[in-house]
Amino acid sequence: MATLTLQSLGKSFGTTAAVTGVDLVVGDGELVCLLGPSGSGKSTVLRMVGGFEGPTAGRVLIDGQDVTHLPPERRPTSMMFQSHALWSHMTVAGNIGFGLRLRGLSRADVAQRVDAALDTVGLPGYGPRRTDQLSGGQAQRVALARSLVLEPKILLLDEPFASLDQHLRERLREEVRDLQKRLRITMVFVTHGQDEALALADRIVVMDRGRVQQADRPDRLYRAPATPFVAGFIGQMNLIAGEVAGGRFVQGAMVLAAPVADGPALLAVRPEALAVSFGTGAGRLHRVTDFGSHAVAEIDLPEGTRVKAHLPEAPDAAPGMPVTVTPRRHTLYRDDRVLWVSDTAPGAAPVAVDA
Ligand SMILES: Nc1ncnc2c1ncn2[C@@H]1O[C@H](COP(=O)(O)OP(=O)(O)OP(=O)(O)O)[C@@H](O)[C@H]1O
Ligand SMILES: [Mg+2]
C-alpha cells in the first residue's frame, strides 16, 4: 500500500520540454490512467516515477518520502515498459522468476508464484518455453507477469496491452483490475485508448504536450471537461469558434445567451446535446448515417463548421435540406478555460435562437 505524490515534476531533453509542471497525488490503492496523444509525455512521467529517468524539475514522493534521486531497485515500484524486452537467454519462467530469486525466495516458492502469474496472464504451462518462441502478444503477457509477480506497492504499466487483440485485451484488463483491487496495489497505467482508460481507471489524467489538462473521474471528464482539448479528446464534441458580444455568443446565424465578458469564445456541444429540426434554418444537411440504435446527422453551418447531432432514428431528409440546430447543453471556453456552462436541462426551453 502506498501513496504517490508528484510535485511540479518536469523533464526537458535539451530544448524539448517533454513534461512540464505535473502535480498529482495517486491515493493508496488507486488506479490512475495517464491518457493522451502520442508524444504527450505519458511514458516520461512513468519513467520518472519508476526511477528510470531523472527529472529536471520537481519531486517524486512515495508515502511522503522523497525518492526523486533513488535508483529503481530502491523504490517500491515495478515497471512494465512500453517496449518490454524479455531476456532471451532465459526461459519464460526464468524471466518471470528473476526478481523473486534476487529477493532470495526458495526455488519451490519461486516456481509456485511463477505458475500462478502465468495462470493470471492466460499462459499456463508456458514456463519452460524460450522467449523467442513467443508471439508478440504472448511476450507482452510474460512481461506483465514479470511485473505482477513482484507484488510491488506501486505498479507502473506503460501500454501493457497495446499489441494484443481486442478479446485478450479486455480479458487481461479485467484480470489486472481484479488483481489491483484484491492486492490493493497503487497503479499508474499509461494508455492512449480512451475506452481502456474509461473501463479501468478510478481517475484519468489527461495529458497534452507535456502538461496535465485534467485529472478527474471518468464521468467528470465526459460531463465537465476542463479545457477544449479534453472536450475534444474524450468522446465526440462539436467545437465552434465564435465571439461573445453583449451577453450573447454569436457565430453565423447561431445566437446563444452567454452572460460573460465580450471576447472570443469556443462553443462545445456534444452530438447528443444538439437538437435538430429539418426544413428551415441556415444549416445544410450533409449526410445521415443510420446506426440502427440511433442515427447521426452531419450538418454544415453557414460559417463552414461541420457539426454532428445524434437522432433517435434516421429522418426522412435529403442532403442539402435546410436545418436548424439548437444546443441544449453547452460549454463556452476562453483561453483554455471554462468560461460558462449552460444550465439548461435536456428537454427544457432552448437557449438558442436559430442556426
Ligand atoms: N530520451 C529522449 N530524448 C529526447 N526526447 C525525448 C526522449 N524521450 C522522450 N522524448 C520526447 O519527449 C516527449 C514525450 O515523450 P513520451 O515518450 O513521454 O510520450 P508518450 O506520451 O509516452 O508518447 P507515446 O504515446 O507515443 O508512447 C516527446 O516529444 C519525445 O519525443
Ligand atoms: Mg509512451
**Relative orientation angle of helices 136-148 and 166-183, to the nearest 10 degrees:** 0
DSSP state of 330: -
310 exposed, middle or buried (CB, 10 Å; 0-12, 13-18, 19+)? middle
CATH 2.40.50.140 domain range(s) in the chain: 236-353
Residue nearest to atom 6 of ligand 1 (CA): 13
* Ligand nearest to the Cα of 13, by number: 1
pLDDT greater than 50 at residue 164:
yes
- For residue 89, the cross-strand partners are none
pLDDT greater than 90 at residue 163:
no
Is the shortest distance between the CB of 10 and ligand 1 below 6 Å? no
Percent of the chain clearing pLDDT 90 (strictly above) = 71
Is the shortest distance between the CB of 18 and ligand 1 below 6 Å? yes
CA dist 142 → 29, 85, 114, 120 (Å): 24, 10, 10, 10
Kindly report, residue by residue over 22-73, the tens digit of the pLDDT: 999 999 999 999 999 999 999 999 999 999 999 999 999 999 999 999 999 8
Residue nearest to atom 16 of ligand 1 (CA): 41
Rounded distance from Cα 207 to ligand 1 centre (Å): 12
- Average pLDDT for residues 257-268, to the nearest whole number? 94
Q: Which residue has the cell 508478440?
A: 136
Q: β-strand 238-245 against 295-300: which pairing, if any?
A: unpaired
pLDDT greater than 80 at residue 348:
no
pLDDT at 347: 42
User: What cell does 346 get?
Assistant: 435536456
Confidence of residue 352 (pLDDT cuts 50, 70, 90): very low
Is the shortest distance between the CB of 44 and ligand 1 below 6 Å? yes
pLDDT greater than 60 at residue 228:
yes
pLDDT at 344: 54
- For residue 107, the cross-strand partners are none
Phi, psi of 240 (to 5 degrees): -130, 120
User: Which atom number of ligand 1 is nearest to the Cα of residue 207?
Assistant: 21
Kindly report, residue by residue over 97-148, the tens digit of the pLDDT: 998 998 899 999 999 999 999 998 889 999 999 999 998 778 888 998 998 8
pLDDT greater than 90 at residue 175:
no
DSSP state of 100: H
Name the nearest CA neighbour of 302 among 323, 326, 329, 277: 323
Measured CA to CA, the distance from residue 310 to residue 236 in angstroms comes to 11
- For residue 61, the cross-strand partners are 5, 66
Residue nearest to atom 8 of ligand 1 (CA): 44
Q: Tell me, what amino acid is at 141?
A: R
236-353 in CATH: which number? 2.40.50.140
* Ligand nearest to the Cα of 10, by number: 1
Q: Can you list the positions of beta strands (E) in 111-202? A: 154-158, 186-191
pLDDT at 252: 83
Please work out, in degrees rounded to the nearest 5, the angle formed at the alpha carbon of residue 10 by the alpha carbons of 4 and 13: 135
pLDDT at 167: 86
Q: Tell me, what amino acid is at 295?
A: A
CATH architecture entry for 4-226: 3-Layer(aba) Sandwich (3.40)
User: What cell does 189 get?
Assistant: 497505467
Measured CA to CA, the distance from residue 208 to residue 190 in angstroms comes to 13
* Ligand nearest to the Cα of 44, by number: 1
Mutate to test the pocket of ligand 1, among 16, 81, 194 (most ligand atoms within 8 A of CB): 16
- Average pLDDT for residues 201-206, to the nearest whole number? 97
CATH 3.40.50.300 domain range(s) in the chain: 4-226
pLDDT at 17: 96
Rounded distance from Cα 43 to ligand 1 centre (Å): 7
